[in-house]
Structure 1
Amino acid sequence: MSTEAPSPASQRRRQCTAAVAAAAAACLAPLVVFLAVLILVPSLIPRLLLRPHHVVPYVASGELRALAFDAAASAVTYNLSAVLRFDGPPSLYARRYTGIRAAPFYAGQELGGAVALPGFTQRSGGGNALPVAWAGVQRVPPGRRERAVAAALAREREEGWISVKVAVRAAQDGEESDFACVLSFPVPHKRDGGGVGNGAAPGVFDGGSCIDAVRGEF
């Protein structure tokens, strides 16, 4: 059985067809890219140009009423509050904030669970204040964590200032971000000159900025 070789004319037709297909693909590729850009750019302009940055909250004020470590119970008694603010820049669009949570930490130990805060819609250039408070008794795992908390509190009482970190999570227009806020309080003292306790005059934090944080606190 013999196979007839294709004629030169047939070979030329196939070569021409392949060349036309390659040329068409080369011409269509820029067109496809152009159409994709034409479709995507209008949807990206509001985010990339009009709202290029997420809003980092700050702490407007805070009060520390009690922070004490009970070595016998391996527990921290805490009572503090803060006012978080989200101040948005001028924008053509309103921002929606949801899933807002805040939790205090001392020497790496979370004090109670995160408190959920109400969501809100922020108009152009507006600002929103969210008061939050935490109070309770937090059990500290014995061992290294217990020693770290006890040592940090003893050292900071001696220095006269107690620093508490507040971790904040918020979704801005659906995009979640984590923030860390450090609140430094003068050590609360009882009005009669005694030590820290629930009857003490609170230590006041005058406010400060928060920073972007790595995910993982919550």
Structure 2
Amino acid sequence: MVQKKQNVTIKGTKEGLIFLLDDTCSYQSLIDELIEKLSSKHYQQADGPDVLVKVESGFRYLQPEHKQEIEQIITEDRNLAIDHFNCKVITKLESEQLRRKSQTVTLTRMVRSGQVLEVTGDLLLIGDVNPGGTVVATGNIYIMGALRGIAHAGANGDEKAIISAALMAPSQLKIAEAMKQFERDGEEEPIMASAFLDERISLQIGRVQQLVHTHQHLNKNEEQIN
């Protein structure tokens, strides 16, 4: 006798449960089997904390209303709570957002006093940021010139972001939510310097060469090097 293929497979882990949803059957068949399997007394409400559930939908993209329906079926009258949904496909919009987040925007210009330059992703600026000028990026900021204004990297909260400049003489630096003001009054202006957050989320400035040892995650497309 040929065993019927399961559309829903439930596995236990140390962290909770994983619901593996078949991505080739119809959505209604998936829902019917999910309801059937959760009708077991084993999954009825019990004393104790909620068990976390991870839902793996493979190459089936779940619309928000589908996620809401599945979450309701899994959690209703049960001590089960959705940890997260995981899918191997993304929408065109999500793909574009990821592309922009990982891109490097290269610009050749001067950022003058009163000007604000904002980009999504990393910023490579070939030029200076004058006093009173501001550059903001969701990723890293690389300035092939003098930074004498304001620079804010990791603007969406990325604490691993860095700010590098050929000449580092800013009035203000900010990485994620950490900020530092500067008053130079004749102080030495560091050449080829970088700002980053240490393990205490404190903003530090050091030589660019330090990044080779402390910021390996900055490497991109290394596999393309022959």
Shorter chain as denominator, the TM-score bin is: under 0.3
Q: Give me the TM-score of the superposition, normalised by structure 1.
A: 0.23
Larger relative helix fraction: 1
Larger Rg: 1
Q: Give me the TM-score of the superposition, normalised by structure 2.
A: 0.22
Higher relative contact order (CA 8 A, sep 6+): 1
